[in-house]
Amino acid sequence: MTTQKTKSKIERAAFISALLLLLWFLVTFLVWPLIMTLSTAFFSGGEFRFSEITDDLSASKRVRGALFNTFWMTIATTITVGIVGLFQVAVLEYFHVKGRTLLKVGFAVPLVFGSIVAATGYKFTYGPIGVVTQVLHRFFPGLPSDWFIGGHGVLYAQTFLLTSFYYLFLRAAMRRVDYSTIEAARSMGASEATILRRVVLPVILPTVFAVMLLTIYTSTVSFAVPELIGGRDFNMISQIILTLNSINRPDMAAFLALFLGLFIMTMILLMQWVEARGSYIGGAKTPVPIELKRVKNKFANFVLHAVSYLLLFIYVLPVFLVISFSFAPASEIGTQTFPSTFTLSNYITVLSGGSAFEPFFNSARMGLLAVLTGLAATLFAVPIMVKHKNWMTRLMDLGFFLPWVVPSVLLAIGLIVTFDEANPLVANTVLLGTFLILPIGYVIHILPLMVRFLRAAFIGIDPSYEEAARSMGASGPYRFRRVIFPLVAPTALLAGGYTFNELLTEYPLSAFLYNVNNKPLSIAILESDKSYNPEQAAITLVYAVLVMSFSMIVVMSAERLSLGKGPKTNNL
Amino acid sequence: MEQAVLSIKNLDIAYGAVTVVHDFNLEVHAGEFVSLLGPSGCGKTTILRTIAGFIGAASGEITLAGEEITKRPAEQRDVGIVFQNYALFPTMTAFENIAFSLRVEKRPNDEIEKRVTEIARASGIEEHLNKKPAEMSGGQQQRVAISRALITGTKVLLFDEPLSNLDAKVRVSMRQEIKRLQDHFGFTAFFVTHDQDEALAMSDRVVVLKAGKTMQIGDGRALYTKPANSFVCQFIGDANEVNGSLAAQLTENAVSDTIYIRPEDLLISTGQTRGLQAKVNHIEYLGALVRVECVSEGSSMLVSLFSKDCPPDLKTGDSVSLTVSKGAWHSFSEGGDNQ
């Protein structure tokens, strides 16, 4: 009995220490940096100044231009992504199109081909040394080689890169449409158009709105795509914040970052409101899965197939070229439309260590460190948040939720203005310029996603498992280790894989916080893009292929876990 | 008298300011099978969870094998629980599920192997030890759950409606299985259910609960033939509630305002002027039995009789006379006692 008491005392002390550590982490690296950003943006020498900074910002032509670009780009992207995304979902989940599996794989490309890797791929395909540009030159010799660079190129790339939200969420929403309601409408004489408008659309509309808001959100903070494809004259807001920070105007950078943050928060709150208001719960306990509709009009059917396969071509082309040329001799990059020989030498250069391997190793190391820290924090905190409802868990909830509404750029500015000098919260060290500053930012960045994943997993656990273990004498840590953890482990692994994959090519935080000790993959890719060295370009292609391969593993596991089998076709 | 294995004295349980169980008292003796029976929300599962240590008692005392355990944490009480859904750990095999508490106690591997195999053999699941719960039938899962609860030598098993999710046919075979295992292992069972058939078929004694209060404790026969109050009378089996003049006509006696008559105690006859005159409203033929619903002065009464005793030409709309054998009714004083 006494040993049991001592044991539970030790457990309690360990628990409280872990809780304090978590609170310190959140306060030091999230709350305090945000407060410091506010103070940097609005106060100078203890004085409040608002008009001065807004005057400075509005006087700058580049700032005005970036704001305008961000504004129109976001509206245009939302429209074009909406059109392509809705078409994809209709092709995959509503109409019968031949080669559905192939299209499904093709349309899934943005899931594994995103961020800076995709931007590189699009530039490699359509940019000055791109294959498409080479082919076009044969027909239009006068075409400038940088024809793709600029706002229109960014819009083109974003149109096909941001459809992943539609692919993921709207398809899931379509799966919730109860097919018996469509059959009921048909039996009552409704036309196909009426069925789509009156039966299907109301079910998926809340998701359509949510996905559109997600597009707005992503386009607003877009960073890597305009950096690579926008060229010198097309800047968006995140780029301007980076520039302002580098020209030693942290106040202006902080102000713009806060402005961006406020906009993003509004978008997210709006999104939650739309989701909550429109969440549709069908009457059927077991909805009948939807059956794909054959298009009877031959011309319409031809157009449907033609557009589907054109889209497939657009999606697959950059990936195909990146993979092909990653196996080509470096000398053929930018000179050939297809490699004449294949070699593994680029892969050997990257994987055999040395300077080409270093950014990859850095990103993997920082990603792993961040993911393990994030998992430790969330695996500890989420069960507490799920089980207990009190002021402390609400505070923790808020702490984990906050990074979701704080754009990376704002977080980065916060970390810079907080840790650019010795800070008592971190034992009076200067964190900026050290290896750790970037992984710390990564941890904060991935926490919300991990919490969302794990919260669902923990809520799904039958409480009687834990009670059963308790009744058999198991202590808290033992119950967690033997009963609860094995149940959430697949989700934790998936969350870890997902976030690691994201961090491998993370750009916004990296752009602000990297230094000589931790130069990550995304920065290396960007630098090689600017170097015009074929050897460097070849290495970048290898990076892209390696990142894509890893993403593919993660996405395929996720797809298996969440969506299950696809619908069958109606034979009528 | 033999000391009770499980003894509960003056137990009150509250959720915040609301007391949900009032002054609950019970003594369960070794090897006894006691059921807690009541409608949904009467507090039966709450009592079970309080004995297990998942809910704290507001006041009162729980004693297990002579030791007071009222304030002891769940993991330090030596009671086994069989949950509604069995709560077998889905990531572990049957073997690991059964071995769980032995592993908690850090027993050596060979001892664990021996004890798990022994209990699995006795429960008839030896060949399923390497299966995960999802690969086992409901019956096998139940046997694993019981073996798991018994492995450390626990003498008292709490059952939290373990049969409620099963269909009627499986339920009957599973309750026989529980009884067989009880005979074999000799454990004391505390069984929570809302199904009166289950309670009556399995239990040595049944505790009938209503809104957190004990209505009656007794064996099945006593509850049915000598209900302590109108609630038990109507909850255990069917009973016609008959008021005022109808009661007087039926019994041909001066009786208190309300009496309760079992459907099988009502006699039905045609062409008689004795007793209560009624019309046949509905007839249900159930094979060996016939249930006849009669209506008199707007009140409906159910008569249950063997098919062979039922007038063969009886049909809906017929006029009949209803009578009741002398004394074959229950009446209760305001306090609820049987008179």
My answer on whether B217 and B125 are in the same domain is: yes
Q: For residue B13, with 0-12 CB atoms within 10 Å meaning exposed, 13-18 middle and 19 or more buried, which class applies?
A: buried
Of B184, B201, B235, the last residue of a domain is B235
Q: Where is pLDDT greater, at A353 or B240?
A: B240
Check residue B203 and give its pLDDT: 94
**Chain A residue at shortest CA distance from B146:** A468
- Would you say residue A5 lies in a domain? no
Residues on A contacting B at a C-beta cutoff of 8 Å: 4, 462, 464-465, 467-475, 478, 482-483, 486-487
User: What average pLDDT is seen over chain A?
Assistant: 87
- Show residues of chain A in contact with B80, CB under 8 Å: 471-472
B156 and B213 fall within a common domain: yes
Q: Are residues B201 and B245 in the same domain?
A: no
**To which residue do tokens 């009948």 refer?**
A288
Q: Taking CB atoms and an 8 Å cutoff, what residues of chain A touch B92?
A: 486
Q: Do B53 and A473 touch (CB under 8 A)?
A: no
Asked whether residue A204 carries a pLDDT value surpassing 70, the answer given is yes
Inside any domain, residue A105: yes
Domain identity same for B158 and B269: no
If asked whether residues A383 and A497 sit together in one domain, one would say: yes
Confidence of residue A566 (pLDDT cuts 50, 70, 90): very low
Is there a single domain that holds both residue A85 and residue A185? yes
- For B324-339, write each residue's pLDDT tens digit: 887 788 888 755 555 4
Residues of B with CB below 8 A from A467's CB? Answer: 52, 54, 74, 81, 83, 87
User: Bridge-partner residues for B11, per DSSP?
Assistant: B24
**A542/A202: higher pLDDT:** A542
In B, which residues are within 8 Å of A389 by CB distance? none
Q: Which among B81, B85, B90 has the least Cβ separation from residue A471? A: B81
Q: Do A462 and B100 touch (CB under 8 A)?
A: no
- CA distance to partner chain B, nearest, from residue A320 (Å): 41
Tens digit of pLDDT for each residue in B90-147? 989 999 999 998 998 899 999 999 999 999 998 889 999 999 998 998 889 988 999 9
Residues A506 and A115: beta-carbon distance below 8 Å: yes
- Give the pLDDT confidence score for residue A285 in this predicted structure: 52
**Cβ atoms of A133 and A148 closer than 8 Å:** yes
- Cβ distance of A4 and B83 shorter than 8 Å: no
Q: Note the pLDDT of residue A564.
A: 46
Collapsing DSSP to helix, strand or coil, B62 comes out as strand
Among the partner-chain residues A4, A462, A472, the one whose CB lies closest to the CB of B85 is: A462
Instruction: Let me know if residue A337 belongs to a domain.
Output: yes
Q: Facing residues of B206 across strands? A: B35, B218
Q: Are residues A383 and A242 in the same domain?
A: no
State the average pLDDT for chain B.
89
Q: Which of B187, B219, B235 is the last residue of a domain?
A: B235
Query: What confidence tier does A237 reach under pLDDT thresholds 50, 70, 90?
Result: very high
Determine the residue of chain B that is closest to A470 in CA distance. Answer: B75
Q: Which of A343, A368, A397 is the last residue of a domain?
A: A343
Tell if the CB–CB gap between B104 and A487 is shorter than 8 Å: no
CB count within 10 Å of CB B68 equals 12
pLDDT at A75 over 50: yes
Residues A112, A223: one domain?
A: yes
Structure tokens given for B279 = 């019309």
Verify whether the Cβ–Cβ distance A470 to B91 is below 8 Å: no
Chain A residues in contact with B152 (beta carbon < 8 A): 472-473
Considering only CB atoms, which chain A residues are within 8 Å of B77? 471
Q: What is the pLDDT of residue B233?
A: 93
Q: Are B158 and B52 in contact (CB under 8 A)?
A: yes
Which distant-in-sequence residues (6+ apart) come within 8 Å of B247 by Cβ? Answer: B255, B257, B258, B259
**pLDDT the model gives residue A559:** 67
Reported as type and span, the H/E element at residue A446 is helix A437-459
Domain presence at residue A6: no
Position B68 in a domain: yes
Residue B1 has pLDDT above 60, yes or no: no
Interface of B with A (CB under 8 A): 52-54, 73-77, 79-81, 83-85, 87, 89-92, 100-101, 103-105, 148-149, 152
Q: What pTM does this model have?
A: 0.81
How many CB pairs below 8 Å do chains A and B form together?
67
Choose the final residue of a domain: A315, A343, A371. A343
User: Which pLDDT score is estimated for A563?
Assistant: 45
Looking up residue A123, the CATH number of its domain turns out to be 1.10.3720.10
Q: Which of B235, B262, B284 is the last residue of a domain?
A: B235
Residue B60 placed within a domain: yes
- Check if the beta carbon of residue A111 is closer than 8 Å to that of residue A502: no
| SS3 readout for A214-243 | HHHHHHHCCCHHHHHHCCCCCCCHHHHHHH
Domain end position, chosen among A286, A313, A343: A343
Q: Is residue B335 part of a domain?
A: no
CATH number, domain of B300, equals 2.40.50.140
- Please count the structural domains in chain A: 2
Residues of chain A in contact with residue B73, where contact means CB-CB under 8 angstroms, are: 470
> Cβ–Cβ of A462/B52 closer than 8 Å?
no
Mind telling me how many Å the CA of B76 is from chain A's nearest CA? 6
Residue A26 lies in a domain: yes
Q: Work out the pLDDT band at A390, boundaries 50, 70, 90.
A: confident
Q: Which residue of A has its CA nearest to B87?
A: A465
- B101–A470 CB contact, under 8 Å: no
CB contacts of A468 in chain B (<8 Å) are 81, 83, 87, 89, 148
Average pLDDT of span A311-316: 96
Mutation site for B-interface testing, chosen from A2, A472, A482, A491 by largest number of B Cβ within 10 Å? A472
With contacts defined as CB-CB under 8 Å, which chain A residues touch B89?
Answer: 465, 468-469, 482-483, 486
Predicted confidence (pLDDT) at residue A374 exceeds the cutoff of 60 = yes
Q: Check residue A341 and report its DSSP letter.
A: S
CATH, residue B27: 3.40.50.300
Q: Are residues A439 and A383 in the same domain?
A: yes
Residue among A465, A475, A478 minimizing CB distance to B89? A465
pLDDT on residue A21: 94
Which chain B residues are within 8 Å of A462, Cβ to Cβ?
A: 85, 87
Question: B83 with B122, same domain?
Answer: yes
Q: Does B260 fall in a domain?
A: yes
A81-97 average pLDDT score? 93
Counted domains in chain B: 2
Is residue A444's pLDDT more than 60? yes
Instruction: Identify the residue among B49, B67, B91 best suited for mutation to test binding to A, counting A beta carbons within 10 A and taking the highest.
Output: B91
Cβ separation A470–B54 shorter than 8 A: yes
Q: In chain B, which residues have their Cβ closer than 8 Å to the Cβ of A5?
A: none
Determine, yes or no, domain membership for A571. no
Residue B310 confidence class, pLDDT cut points 50, 70, 90: confident
Does residue B9 sit in helix, strand or coil?
A: strand
**CA-closest candidate to residue B70, choices B58, B81, B85:** B58
A571: confidence class by pLDDT, cuts 50, 70, 90: very low
d(CA A296, CA A307): 17
pLDDT mean over A231-235: 91
For residue A178, what pLDDT band results from cuts at 50, 70 and 90?
A: confident
Sheet holding B67-68, edge to edge: B18-28, B6-15, B59-64, B67-68
User: Ranked by mean pLDDT, which of A278-292, A359-373, B1-15 comes out on top?
Assistant: A359-373
Interchain pair B75, A470: CB under 8 A: yes
How confident is the model over B228-242, as pLDDT tens digits?
Answer: 999 999 999 889 998
Q: What is the ipTM of this complex?
A: 0.80
**Residue A154 near residue A73 (C-beta atoms within 8 A):** yes
A555, part of any domain:
yes
Q: Min CA distance, B44 vs chain A (Å)? A: 17
Convert the pLDDT of each residue in A253-290 to its tens digit. Answer: 888 988 888 888 888 788 777 777 665 555 455 567 77
Residue A410 domain boundaries: 12-49+349-563
* CA gap B55, A38 in Å, rounded: 47
With 80 as the cut, is the pLDDT of residue A246 above it? Answer: yes
List the structure tokens of A348.
Answer: 């050997």
Separation between Cα atoms, residue A230 and residue A218, nearest integer Å: 16
Residues A93 and A234 occupy one common structural domain: yes
Q: Please tell me whether residues B295 and B223 are part of one structural domain.
A: no
Same-domain check for residues A263 and A144: yes
| CB-based contact B81 A475, cutoff 8 Å | no
Query: Is B179 a member of any domain?
Result: yes
The closest CB to that of B101, out of A462, A472, A486, belongs to: A472
Question: How close does chain A come to B87, measured CA to CA in Å?
Answer: 5
- The answer to whether position B149 is within a domain reads yes
B52 plus B161 within the same structural domain: yes
Q: Are A471 and B85 within 8 A, CB to CB? A: no
Instruction: Determine the distance in angstroms separating the CA of B169 from the nearest CA of chain A, rounded to an integer.
Output: 25
CB B222 within 8 A of CB B330: no
Shared domain check, A285 and A357:
no
pLDDT tens for each residue of A483-531: 999 999 888 888 898 899 889 989 999 999 999 989 999 999 988 887 7
Q: Across the interface, do A473 and B105 touch by the CB < 8 Å criterion?
A: yes
Q: Using the beta-carbon criterion (under 8 Å), do B83 and A468 form an inter-chain contact?
A: yes
Which residue in the set B76, B87, B101 is minimally distant from A464, CB to CB?
B87
Which chain B residues are Cβ-neighbours of A472 within 8 angstroms?
Answer: 75, 80, 100-101, 104, 148-149, 152
Looking at per-residue confidence, does A176 or B198 come out higher? B198
Burial class (CB in 10 A: 0-12, 13-18, 19+), B330: buried
Nearest chain A residue to B152 by CA: give it: A472
- Model pLDDT, residue A210: 84
Of A4, A462, A475, the CB nearest to B87: A462
The alpha carbon of residue B144 is apart from the nearest alpha carbon of chain A, in Å, by: 13
Report the gap between the CA of B72 and the closest CA in chain A (Å): 12
| B65 and B143 co-located in one domain | yes
Q: Do B53 and A471 touch (CB under 8 A)?
A: yes
Same domain assignment for residues A260 and A120: yes
Kindly state whether residues A498 and A364 are assigned to the same domain.
Answer: yes
Q: In this prediction, what percent of chain A has a pLDDT beyond 90? A: 45
Let me know whether B12 and B77 are in one domain. yes
Residue A65 lies in a domain: yes
Query: What is the extent of the structural domain holding B90?
Result: 6-235
**High-pLDDT (> 70) share of chain A, %:** 95
